[in-house]
Amino acid sequence: MSTLVVVGSQWGDEGKGKITDYLAQNADVVVRSQGGNNAGHTISFGGEKFALRSIPSGIFSPHIKNVMANGMVIDPKQMLEELEGLEARGIKDYQLFISNRAHIVLPYHRLLDGAFEQFKGDKKIGTTKRGIGPAYADKANRIGIRIADLIDPELFKIALSDTLKIKNMELKMVGEEPLDFNSIYNEYKEYGQRIKKYVCDTSELLESEIEKGSKVLFEGAQGVMLCIDHGTYPYVTSSSPTAASVPLNAGIAPRYINNVLGICKAYTTRVGEGPFPTEIEGDLANYIRERGHEYGTVTKRPRRVGYLDAVALNYARRVSGINYLSLMLFDVLSGLEELKICYAYEIDGKVVKTMPATLKELENAKPMYVTLPGFKEDITNVKSFDELPENAKLYIKKVEELTNTKVAMFSVGPDRLQTIKLIEIF
């Protein structure tokens, strides 16, 4: 049995796409099990760069089975456009399997996402406005529409006409025009027919693959600090990006999950609103933002930047069962005089080493830092731990010490080849 869960251990955009693609060179199956096209996973190899949204990062290898599992919310229109975009770039030979139980995102979800954000004013979440929250809300409210309904015109007609009555009332409440049943039905019925050939019971497929010894990689989206249960609520997404969510969201036995690789930038970023204790501004933030090209893959928003936060990482390790880390964008830190890592927060005069639950405490949290000497050398061509400058080695050791987790890999550039493996975990 060989499975590995790749999870974002911060606030998303840690480099999950890059590492999934790298590890996929050695995988038979790649699975997305939560979120939707709020994700933006960048993959670079052979001089080409791709930004995937809802399609799993194994799509580039014809032998890999790519699974979009039941826990996802899939926007059929966007997903088909994404596939067309890949095909236009020569990615034509792929295997894709979509769960019949995944929920779909419809135009009213996107409209409501935008309208709720506007209503919230300065309390807005800063969502990607892809309708993800409203789609998960409908799922919980038992008025969601699933892939199995979408691909059957009769079932889709009933489901959409029932749900649209409620959604049009909601749209009216937020000052939007009601949507026309026929135009959504006709457009999405077509998408359903185009998607149909990919649809199956992906839980059954995954069980049989795992039982026969296939190597299965679970590609998390978002990050633990954006988890609906464990993140900085309410500034979170609407699904759980933790490893614990994988069995539920992929329909597999929990005992199939052993190893969890937390993807972690050598610093921290966050896009959207919400608490971020180690956030920095000014020249240093700009230096990191420009070197790391820290602008959103999906929304192009500049990402907020900060020091590495070992309090948040330790918390992510605990709630998501992370047993290895992959330290990403390490090259970005070259040229800095000193490097800092937050090891505790001071909140109202108390030293705190666990993540507080309330926004009030998080907003009052003053990070306490260990300061390490920086390194000047360009490390983008480094091929082993030994080739790293001494101060860079020291930084990795400190990360391991403060997070109680082994660094199994590190990354020194966006390309697939700029990845250094220290421990074999997959």
User: Which residue ranges make up the site for ligand GDP (CB under 6 A)?
Assistant: 8, 12-18, 39-42, 44, 292-293, 297, 328-329, 331-332, 411-414
Instruction: For residue 239, state whether it binds Mg ion (rule: CB under 5 A).
Output: no
Q: What pairing do the DSSP bridges indicate for beta strands 406-411 and 324-328? A: parallel
Whether 41 sits among the annotated catalytic residues: the reply is yes
Q: Give the nearer residue to ligand GDP in terms of CB position, either 45 or 233.
A: 45
Report the interhelical angle of 153-173 vs 107-120 (nearest 10°): 20
> Measured at CB, which residue is nearest to ligand IMO?
272
Interaction between residue 12 and ligand IMO (CB under 6 A): yes
In whole angstroms, what is the distance from residue 390 CA to residue 388 CA?
6
- Residue 127 interacts with, from ligand GDP, Mg ion, ligand IMO, none (CB under 5-8 Å by kind): ligand IMO
18 binding partner (options ligand GDP, ligand IMO, Mg ion, none; Cβ < 5 to 8 Å by kind): ligand GDP
Q: Which residue from 126, 178, 373, 374 is in contact with ligand IMO, where contact means CB under 6 A? A: 126
Q: Is the peptide bond before 62 cis (omega within 30 degrees of 0)?
A: no
Sole binder of ligand IMO in the list 9, 37, 128, 240 (CB under 6 A): 128
* Residues paired with 370 in a beta bridge: 341
Nearer CB in complex with ligand IMO: 110/317 = 110
Residue with tokens 């790391």: 292
* Residue tagged active-site, from 21, 28, 41, 103: 41
Report d(CA 355, CA 312) in Å as an integer: 6
Q: What's 55's DSSP letter?
A: S
DSSP-derived secondary structure for 276-316: -TTEE-SHHHHHHHHHTT-B-TTT-PBPEEE-EEHHHHHHH
Q: What is the DSSP string of 257-271?
A: --EEEEEEESSEEE-
Asked if residue 237 binds Mg ion (CB under 5 A), the reply is no
User: Within 10 A of 254 (CB to CB), how many other CB atoms are there?
Assistant: 10
Q: Give the residues across from 321 on adjacent strands.
A: none
Q: What size, in residues, is the chain?
A: 426
Q: Taking the complex as a whole, how short is the minimal distance between the CB of residue 136 and ligand IMO, in angstroms?
A: 9
Among 297, 320, 403, 418, binds Mg ion (CB under 5 A): 297
Structure tokens belonging to residue 166? 């409620």
Find the binder of ligand IMO among 3, 6, 8, 227 (CB under 6 A). Answer: 8
| Minimum distance, C-beta of residue 388 to ligand IMO, in the bound complex (Å) | 26
Q: How far is the CB of 294 from ligand GDP (least distance, A)?
A: 8
Does position 414 bind Mg ion by CB under 5 A? no
The verdict on 222 binding ligand IMO (CB under 6 A) reads: yes
Span 130-169, contacts to ligand IMO by CB under 6 A: 130, 132-133
**Which of ligand IMO, ligand GDP, Mg ion, none does residue 366 bind (CB under 5 to 8 Å by kind)?**
none
| Residue found under tokens 């309330």 | 358
Which helix (H) or strand (E) covers residue 118, if one does? helix 107-120
As a whole number of Å, the CA-based R_g of the chain is: 21
Note the maximum CA span of the chain. 66
Stretch that binds ligand IMO, among 8-16, 23-31, 184-192, 408-416 (CB under 6 A): 8-16
- Active-site positions? 13, 41
Binding residues for ligand IMO, rule: CB under 6 A, are 8, 12-13, 38-41, 125-128, 130, 132-133, 221-223, 226, 237-238, 271-272, 297
